[in-house]
Each structure stands twice: as C-alpha cells, then as structure tokens.
Amino acid sequence: MTQPEFFAAVEAEQVVSFREVSNGHERLTHFKPLLNEERCQECHEPNHRVRGVVMISTSLEPLRQETVRKTLRYSVVFVATTLLVIGSLAVFLRKTILNPIDLMAMRVKQIAQGDLQQRVPIHTRDEMGELATHLNRMTESLKIYQEQLIRAEKLSSLGTLASGLAHELNNPLASIAGYAEALLDPLSAQLANGRDQQEKVRQALGVILTQADRCRDITQHLLKFARKEEFQLETVFLSLLFEEILALLAPQARQRGVRLTCSIAPNVPPLWSDAASLQQVFFNLIKNGIEAITKEGEVHTAVRFVGEWVEVTVADNGAGIPAEWERKIFDPFFTTKPPGQGTGLGLPISCMIVEGLGGKLRFTSQVGRGTTFTVLLPVQNREHTDDTDKTADPPR
C-alpha cells in the first residue's frame, strides 16, 4: 500500500486490511484510525478528527507452512485411503469374479479336451453361481450326449456285424432244423421195437430242434437290431394295445405269482404310431418286469397324458438293477438273466424303436425295491386322429 493511499484511507476514517510481501515473506497488515471523540478531547485538542492510527502486522509464513503441512498430510491420507480401497476392491473382484472366471475357463478347456467329469464348485448364489450351475448342467448334458453318441456308434458297428452274422447263420440253421424234422418220423418208426433207444433219439432230435429254434430267434433279433425299422403308422389305442399284451403275458405271470395291473388316464389320446412296434416294446418291458420278480409281486403299467407327450411307466417290485449295471443296460448282448434265457437285445431294440418313433426311454431302479421304465411318446400328426374319439378307449 502506498503512502498516499494510506493517508487517504486515514482521512476517510476507513478500516483497512491488506497483504504485502516483505523480505520474501508475505504479511497481513490491518490498521484502524482512532477518532477524536468527546471523551478523548479532555486530553487532546478538539480540532483534529483523527488522533492516531492502530496498525497490526503479522507474518503469514507460519500459516502458510501449517497449510502446506496439513495439505500434505491430508493428501497422504487420501492417497493411502484410495490405494486401500482400490486394493480391497481388486481383492474382492479377484475373489468373486476373476478367480471363478479363471476356474470356469480352466474347466471349459478341460471339457474341450474331452474330460467331462469336471465340475465347477458353486459357493455363491449370485450371477457367478448361476453361471457355474448352467455350466455344470451343460457339462452333464454333453456327457449324456457323448454316451448316446458312443452307444449309437457301437450300435451301428454291431448292426453291420449282426446283419452279416445273422445271414450267415440262417441258412445252416434252417438246414439243421429241416433235417432234424425229416429224421424224427423215420427213426421213430425204425426204432419202434427199442423203446429206450427210441426215447434217446427223440430227446436228441428234440434238443436239436429246440436249439435250432433258439438260434433262429437270436438271428431274428440280430436282423431286427441291424435293420433300420420301417414303421407302419396308424391310429393306436393304448387301452386295446395293453389289453392284448396283458392277455398274452397273463399265463406267465400267474405261473410266477405276479399280478399284472394297468391304469390309463381318461384324457390319454390315441397315438399316430406303429402298433406292432409299440406292442413289441411294452411286451418286452412287462415281460422283463415279470422275470425280475423272484417271489410274489406286481408289475404295474400306468399311462397318462403330459403336455404333448404320452407317458407310459412300467414298474415292478423285483430285485432292481445294481448301480454298476445301469450304464450297460442298453448295451447290445448285455443281460442280467441266466445263460440261455436272454439274448441281451430286447432293451437295445426297444430303445431303438422308441427313439425311432420320436420318443424317449428312461429308467430308474433301486436294488431290493424294483425298477421303473418310462416311455415318452409324442402325440404326432394329430390331424390324422381328428375324426376319432380322442380318448384312451377305442370305439366299440
């Protein structure tokens, strides 16, 4: 502040504050004119309005230093807090997002390499947990499809082999059976006087015929297994179909002390399907249920309409299927029956028929409690059945 400005401010009786730099340091100066009031005129002459000036000047350097120190301190605290927050956020993101993503990426790579046994552990119920759940479900589906593909490849290879084997065996077996039948009557007449010898010959020829018939049945199964099924589609009333099947199996069931029961929901529509093929499937499933029961028991067949599917379950309370056999149950030539009582082709053929008709064949089993086979059949080409009564019962 210049001297003229100072005197002008005093004359104007102004209170003034200003900042100035002196010797390289900033100072804050404050001055106030002292007015010559009446109580002051006892000691001072009354002809002066201003009797003096009070001036206070202080250095701003300590304040500046304190401001710099606090600014530095707050900056350090802010930077440290920011780094701590960033570090905590990075750890949180690593633990909750990046680590699960890395784990999923590793599992996906293992799955791509063919290892379908791997699963992603689920520790949370958020989006990452949901993603892990879907990835595990996808892996399980891939595993099922892989098994189906392997089984289909096996079936294809075995089908080619079975077709050739059946054709090769049919001719000699037909010759054996024909010659055995041709020899039976002449030998019986020639050995009329020797009853013991006649009986031995009869037994031997009977064994030849029985085994030839069994081999013929096996070759027929092989041909069905190898041949691509040509379905004859028609309207199929399941009530009538199961009525025929249960009538055919009733004697065998009574002989083994097994009850055959059947329940069909009233809203089950007729199917546009192959009646003969379906009869073969359900005949085989119910027959297997009867043979699985060693003591008195029950084989129950239930039919209901679910959405666009007809669901048929065949449940028995027999011995059940051990866990180690469950993956083999649809493999060709695998059988749980004693030697000579099964070809191991019934279920594979049934599975091929059901899938060929656009359906699905599944099963569940508990050892000691029984087995339930479930067949899902689509209600296809409903327009073919529009002119019929859409119930489970055929028109009488």
Domain final position from 205, 226, 247: 226
What does pTM read for this prediction?
0.48
Torsional class of 320: left (φ above 0), alpha (ψ -120 to 50), beta (otherwise): left
Indicate whether 339 and 262 sit together in one domain.
yes
Q: Which residues, listed in sequence order, are joined to residue 309 by a DSSP beta bridge?
A: 306, 378
340 Cβ contact partners less than 8 Å away, ≥ 6 residues apart: 214
Task: Report if residue 75 sits inside a domain.
Answer: no
Indicate whether 207 and 294 sit together in one domain.
no
Sheet with 370-378, edge to edge strand ranges: 258-264, 297-306, 309-316, 370-378, 360-366
* CATH number for 328: 3.30.565.10
Task: Report if residue 91 sits inside a domain.
Answer: no
Q: What's the Cα-to-Cα distance from 300 to each of 98, 277, 304, 321, rounded to whole Å?
A: 53, 20, 13, 17
Indicate whether 245 and 339 sit together in one domain.
yes
Domain final position from 226, 243, 270: 226
Indicate whether 299 and 363 sit together in one domain.
yes
Task: Report if residue 158 sits inside a domain.
Answer: yes
Gap between the Cα atoms of 269 and 266, Å rounded: 8
Question: Torsions phi, psi of 363, nearest 5?
Answer: -150, 155
Which residue in this structure is represented by tokens 């750890």?
Answer: 91
User: Is it the case that residue 2 has pLDDT exceeding 90?
Assistant: no
**Between 286 and 57, where is the model more confident?**
286
Task: Report if residue 95 sits inside a domain.
Answer: no
At 214 the pLDDT is 67
Per-residue pLDDT reduced to its tens digit, 324-344: 887 777 776 667 666 555 566
Gap between the Cα atoms of 193 and 196, Å rounded: 9
Distance of CA 364 to the CA centre of its chain: 17
Q: Is 176 helix (H, G, I), strand (E, B) or coil?
A: helix
Task: Report if residue 106 sits inside a domain.
Answer: no
Distance of CA 102 to the CA centre of its chain: 22
Task: Report if residue 94 sits inside a domain.
Answer: no
* CATH number for 8: 3.30.450.290
Per-residue pLDDT reduced to its tens digit, 114-143: 666 777 777 777 777 787 788 888 877 777
The mean per-residue pLDDT over the stretch 14-36 comes to: 76
Whether the Cβ atoms of residue 262 and residue 301 lie closer than 8 Å to each other: yes
The mean per-residue pLDDT over the stretch 360-380 comes to: 90
Gap between the Cα atoms of 101 and 5, Å rounded: 75
Task: Report if residue 394 sits inside a domain.
Answer: no
* Domain containing residue 25: 3-59
**Between 350 and 164, where is the model more confident?**
350
Indicate whether 380 and 247 sit together in one domain.
yes
As for how many domains the chain has, the answer is: 3
Q: What's the Cα-to-Cα distance from 247 to each of 276, 286, 303, 374, 389, rounded to whole Å?
A: 16, 12, 17, 21, 24
Indicate whether 49 and 157 sit together in one domain.
no
Indicate whether 221 and 302 sit together in one domain.
no
Q: Which DSSP category does 117 fall into?
A: T
Indicate whether 250 and 282 sit together in one domain.
yes
Indicate whether 206 and 254 sit together in one domain.
no
Both structure tokens of 269: 């529509």
**Between 16 and 218, where is the model more confident?**
16
Q: Residue 387: name the closest of 269, 274, 242, 273 by CA.
A: 269
The mean per-residue pLDDT over the stretch 148-160 comes to: 61
* CATH number for 203: 1.20.20
Sign of the CA dihedral with 287 first, then 290, 293, and 294 last: negative
Q: Which residues, listed in sequence order, are joined to residue 68 by a DSSP beta bridge?
A: none
Whether the Cβ atoms of residue 320 and residue 308 lie closer than 8 Å to each other: no
Which residue in this structure is represented by tokens 């009333």?
Answer: 237
Indicate whether 258 and 368 sit together in one domain.
yes
Indicate whether 374 and 288 sit together in one domain.
yes
Q: Residue 270: name the closest of 104, 169, 98, 385 by CA.
A: 385
Indicate whether 149 and 33 sit together in one domain.
no
Task: Report if residue 197 sits inside a domain.
Answer: yes
Task: Return the ∠ at Cα 180 (arms to 176 and 186), rounded to 5°.
Answer: 150
Q: Residue 289: name the closest of 363, 219, 227 by CA.
A: 363
**Between 36 and 237, where is the model more confident?**
237
Provide the pairing of β-strand 370-378 with 50-59.
unpaired
Burial class from Cβ neighbours inside 10 Å (0-12, 13-18, 19+) for residue 350 reads buried
Q: Is 333 helix (H, G, I), strand (E, B) or coil?
A: coil
Least confident of 90-99, 233-242, 293-302: 90-99
Domain final position from 208, 226, 244: 226
Model confidence band, residue 197 (pLDDT cutoffs 50, 70, 90): low
